[in-house]
């Protein structure tokens, strides 16, 4: 077990990725990417940290804080530098189908881990998840203006527009549709 700055770390010190995050609540650091794992540290709200990896589900990040290397729950970490795509899979897994980053048309970026639904409303079933910081192609917007029809890899569905910011193009130029 490595010792970094006099603190025993639960994981090997990983390679720097250039990805940084900001903690959006008081957040535990755990030995493994699960709430059943032992707590090894706590990061206060607003702390800026280095991110070293992700798990296959994109819901946990490998972090380093004050010499402690471990896992923290991704929905409570906002990526402020770099992108999710830069993070390697550090839990011994890799996704079966990695979505390619969106590059054409109107592109929006998720500012939260955002659900993808089968239609423009909360009553529609969930069909996927867009991880925080991921860029997706915007295909349409709902007639009430509350939902975006997006493409994330091979998944096409609807997400709540409040959780996205434009990074390329103008969202008002995409078609209005509820289909």
Question: What tens digit of pLDDT does each residue of 122-175 get?
Answer: 999 998 888 887 889 999 999 999 999 999 888 899 999 998 988 888 999 999
pLDDT of 86 over the 90 cut: no
Higher pLDDT, 29 or 2: 29
pLDDT of 101 over the 70 cut: no
DSSP letter string, 120-174: SSTTSPEEEEE-TT-EEEEEEE-TTSSEEEEEETTEEEEEEGGGEEEEES-GGGS
Strand-pairing partners, residue 3, are 8
**What share of the chain in percent tops pLDDT 90?**
42
Using 50, 70 and 90 to split pLDDT, how confident is the model at 96? very low
Using 50, 70 and 90 to split pLDDT, how confident is the model at 9? very low
Taking only the tens place, the pLDDT of each residue in 60-81 is: 899 999 989 999 998 888 888 8
Higher pLDDT, 81 or 12: 81
Q: Contact at 8 Å (CB) between 31 and 23?
A: no
Q: What are the backbone dihedrals phi and psi of residue 85, each rounded to the nearest 5 degrees, phi first?
A: -60, -25
- Looking only at the bridges linking them, the beta strands covering 68-73 and 77-81 are unpaired
**What share of the chain in percent tops pLDDT 70?**
85
pLDDT of 10 over the 60 cut: no
pLDDT value at position 1?
39
């Amino acid at each position: 077990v490595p010792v970094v700055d006099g603190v025993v770390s639960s994981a090997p010190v990983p390679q720097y990725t250039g990805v940084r995050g900001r903690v959006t609540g008081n957040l535990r650091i755990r030995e493994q990417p699960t709430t059943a794992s032992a707590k090894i540290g706590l990061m206060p709200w607003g702390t800026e940290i280095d991110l070293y990896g992700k798990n296959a589900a994109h819901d946990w990040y490998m972090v380093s804080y004050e010499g402690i290397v471990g896992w923290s729950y991704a929905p409570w970490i906002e990526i402020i530098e770099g992108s999710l795509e830069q993070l390697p899979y550090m839990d011994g897994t890799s996704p079966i189908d990695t979505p390619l980053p969106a590059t054409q048309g109107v592109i929006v970026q998720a500012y939260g881990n955002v659900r993808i639904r089968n239609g423009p409303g909360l009553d529609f079933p969930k069909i996927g998840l867009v991880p925080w910081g991921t860029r997706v192609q915007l295909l349409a917007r709902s007639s009430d203006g509350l939902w975006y029809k997006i493409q994330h890899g091979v998944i096409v569905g609807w997400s709540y527009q409040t959780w996205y910011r434009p990074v390329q193009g103008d969202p008002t130029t995409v078609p209005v549709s509820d289909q």
